Chains A and B, each alone.
Chain A
Amino acid sequence: MTRMRTLNNQLFFNRWKMINLVFLINLMAFGIVMLIDVVSNKMTFKLVMFDKWYMYYMLLTFVAYLVTWVLLAKDNEQVLFSSKYRMIPITEWKLYLSNMLSSLLALIYFWFLEGIVNTIFGSIQANHFLVGNALTSILYTKAYYKLPNVDMTVRSFIIGFLSITLVWSIVTLVHFLISLISDKFALKKKRVIKYVLYFLITYICLMIFNSTVSGVFVLMYGDGFNVLEKINSMLLTSIFIFIGWIVVLTLINIYLLKKHIETDY
């Protein structure tokens, strides 16, 4: 039997290469933007340009992040529908979890790479302010580096992470259900029906999700939440709701993968 770690390494390696490529393109695009900016400023270099460049970089990173997210989601789906992976002697739940885990690790790796560039920018900006105005810079850098609330930051980060997992799980469920329905019934105008199904299933998932989440929040915070602690505990509740949904969707997806889902190629 193939070990989960072995499969995970294989899946992560492919995604690692993909992330490196996206990051490289991101940096190259940023380099071109910087070059255009310098050329349009008649080859003069000003410290203030760093702020603008940082803004450009953030914008490009946001685009790169979206591209990465979509590519990983696509790769996730391809693994589950490919004979290359489905032939391997490993249980469906190990295949599913390895797939999801390696995508999440790849995303963390992307964040890590972007984090390095951000830190470099941050340190350049801090030095830049020190050159300009000592007092302002001390106040600014202190504010810049001061974390507003460690708990809230950590919880927000976890929610971000969980929401990505949740959306990927929903995408897989939708893909599985479409494949299942197409396999069971002889569908004419398959493409149109697929899109209608995609819309319907997404709508139903969102409705169920929305009513559950809002129901829980109304029960818990019916009197409003304008206090920091309440926001913090709301984040904690969200984490539990997200985990619950991920577990439910994962179980459904693994069941469908095991019993009904066949490969496309």
Chain B
Amino acid sequence: MSNVLKIEELNYKKGGKKILEDVNLKLDSGKIIGLLGENGAGKTTLMRIIAGVNSVSEGVITVNGNTKKILIKENVSLSDHLDGFKATNKISEIVHFYNAVYQDFSITKYEDIANFLGLDMTKKLAALSTGTRGKLVIALTLARSAKLYLLDEPLSGIDSISRKKIISSIIRWKDDDSTIIISDHYVTAIASLLDEVVIIKNQKIRDLIPVEQIQSDYHLGIEAYYEKVYLGEIQ
């Protein structure tokens, strides 16, 4: 199994404050990985750095063997919260934009996911509830054929029915050789999806551990393990 993502000696500061420190990480392809950490731990920042949206001052990011930013962007599909679109934009216009600017965007795949999630193309962005907006973000992100999908808190503020739908769509439309990183601080919501867990604590990657190992070595669920790591009960 090859490394889809390799991060070496990454340091990141913003506003004079350290956000990420000495981050080293290697992830194999084909897995669903949970990026866990409390609010402000640096999960979103790490995802944005990987996607090439934030600049790297120190460290090397390699995605699918590429270190060039433009090639990384071709290989990574980051869930964008659609803040750059106008509230008056219809879903159809947003889909048209994605289809035009991303060569790997598949309209057929989008329509399949959108039908499954019950998205209406004629609706305007302003008229969407948090749940429907979350579904749209997932549909747009997964409709690209990328090697690495970065889903930044895809279930945040979403009701349980929509949450289940989103989780089902992630499982259903994930290619075998693609990797998905999901960040969240509500661990229970995504626990059922995960193959591996990465925990960020105090600006550093505290742990990269397979879910099976958590169960076999610690006899714990993901959430309990995560809490024990955060409380310092597991070193």
Known contacts A10-B100, A183-B14, A265-B84; 17 additional CB pairs below 8 A are A1-B74, A2-B102, A2-B103, A10-B101, A78-B84, A83-B48, A83-B78, A83-B83, A88-B73, A88-B101, A89-B102, A182-B15, A184-B15, A184-B16, A185-B15, A262-B53, A263-B48
Docked Cα-Cα span, A88 to B99, in Å, equals 11
- The residue in chain B whose Cβ has the minimal distance to the Cβ of A256 is B55
Quote the shortest CB–CB distance from A7 to chain B (angstroms). Answer: 6
A265→B83 contact, CB < 8 A = yes
Contact residues in A for B84 (Cβ distance below 8 Å): 78, 82-85, 265
Quote the shortest CB–CB distance from B63 to chain A (angstroms). Answer: 12
Contact residues in B for A185 (Cβ distance below 8 Å): 15-16
- The residue in chain B whose Cβ has the minimal distance to the Cβ of A265 is B83
**B8-41 near A? 1/0 per residue, CB < 8 Å:** 0000011111000000000000000000000000
**A81-109 near B? 1/0 per residue, CB < 8 Å:** 01111111111000000000000000000
Contact residues in B for A78 (Cβ distance below 8 Å): 84
- The residue in chain A whose Cβ has the minimal distance to the Cβ of B71 is A89
B102→A261 contact, CB < 8 A = no
**B173-213 near A? 1/0 per residue, CB < 8 Å:** 00000000000000000000000000000000000000000
Cross-chain pairs A/B with CB under 8 angstroms, 11 sampled: A1-B103, A83-B48, A83-B81, A84-B84, A86-B53, A87-B53, A89-B73, A89-B103, A183-B14, A184-B16, A262-B48
B70→A91 contact, CB < 8 A = yes
Chain B CB within 8 A of A6 CB: yes
Chain B residues in the interface with A (C-beta under 8 A): 13-17, 48, 51-55, 70-71, 73-74, 78, 80-85, 97, 100-103
Contact residues in A for B17 (Cβ distance below 8 Å): 186
A9→B16 contact, CB < 8 A = no
Contact of A89 with B74 at beta-carbon distance under 8 Å, contacts A2-B101, A10-B100, A10-B101 already known: yes
Chain B CB within 8 A of A230 CB: no
Chain B CB within 8 A of A260 CB: yes
Quote the shortest CB–CB distance from A261 to chain B (angstroms). Answer: 7
- The residue in chain A whose Cβ has the minimal distance to the Cβ of B89 is A14
The 4 A-B residue pairs whose C-beta atoms are closest, nearest first, are A84-B84, A186-B16, A89-B73, A82-B84
B53→A88 contact, CB < 8 A = no
Contact residues in A for B97 (Cβ distance below 8 Å): 10
B102→A88 contact, CB < 8 A = yes
Contact pick for B55, options A82, A84, A182, A262, CB 8 Å: A262
